[in-house]
């Protein structure tokens, strides 16, 4: 799906990303800037936390998911621009060494009433670990230009 305009999307289209391996160092680097809590910063401190070990911030998982979507075979014309997501869940944490990929499906295609040059394409995205277990479920709404607009 490359350079797709609103008119090119239909419900049921699927896309898939490459994989990304999560490192302990990346987990800590993200956490130092954006989520400095013991269970994201230090293996020893994390042992005494609710997680029992070092885990990625959910917002790190969300950011890695965005990168995987950008690197996937989903390529809306004008870029992958989201207005938000209806749902964002982290059913289980991401650990160092996890290998993530994203699988997505178009679940809604709707012209904008207020802006005739764009449409909304909702996608349901699962971020899966190497065991096929979901670590993030989201349903972002993409803003996609109409052809010739």
Residues that bind a copy of itself (CB under 8 A): 30, 33-39, 49-50, 57-60, 62-64, 66-67, 70, 78-90, 137, 143, 145
To the nearest whole angstrom, how small is the minimum distance from the Cβ of residue 102 to a copy of itself? 13
Whichever of 68 and 109 has its CB closer to a copy of itself, that residue is 68
Which long-range contacts (C-beta less than 8 Å, at least 24 apart) are formed by 49-55? 51/93, 53/95, 54/24, 54/27, 54/28, 54/95, 54/96, 55/27, 55/93, 55/94, 55/95
Whichever of 82 and 96 has its CB closer to a copy of itself, that residue is 82
**Cα(4)–Cα(75) distance, integer angstroms:** 6
To the nearest whole angstrom, how small is the minimum distance from the Cβ of residue 79 to a copy of itself? 5
To the nearest whole angstrom, how small is the minimum distance from the Cβ of residue 10 to a copy of itself? 23
Coil, helix or strand for 80?
coil
To the nearest whole angstrom, how small is the minimum distance from the Cβ of residue 64 to a copy of itself? 7
Distances (CA, A) of 37 to 53, 75, 85, 88, 113: 12, 35, 25, 21, 43
Whichever of 62 and 103 has its CB closer to a copy of itself, that residue is 62
Asked if 121 contacts 9 with a C-beta cutoff of 8 angstroms, the reply is: yes
Residue whose C-alpha is closest to residue 19's, from 125, 112, 99: 99
Whichever of 12 and 113 has its CB closer to a copy of itself, that residue is 113
To the nearest whole angstrom, how small is the minimum distance from the Cβ of residue 109 to a copy of itself? 19
Whichever of 61 and 106 has its CB closer to a copy of itself, that residue is 61
């Amino acid at each position: 799906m490359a350079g797709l305009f609103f008119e090119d999307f239909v419900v049921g289209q699927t896309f898939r990303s490459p994989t990304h391996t999560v490192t302990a160092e990346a987990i800590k680097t993200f956490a130092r800037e954006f989520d400095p809590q013991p269970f994201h910063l230090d293996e020893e401190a994390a042992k005494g936390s609710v997680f029992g070990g070092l885990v990625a911030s959910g917002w790190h998982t969300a950011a890695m998911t965005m990168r995987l979507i950008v690197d996937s075979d989903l390529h809306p014309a004008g870029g992958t621009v989201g207005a938000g997501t209806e749902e964002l869940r982290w059913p289980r944490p991401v650990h160092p060494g996890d290998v993530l990929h994203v699988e997505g499906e178009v679940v809604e295609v709707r012209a904008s009433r207020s802006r005739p040059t764009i449409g909304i394409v909702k996608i349901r995205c699962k971020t899966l670990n190497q065991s096929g277990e979901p670590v993030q479920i989201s349903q972002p709404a993409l803003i996609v230009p109409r052809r010739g607009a």
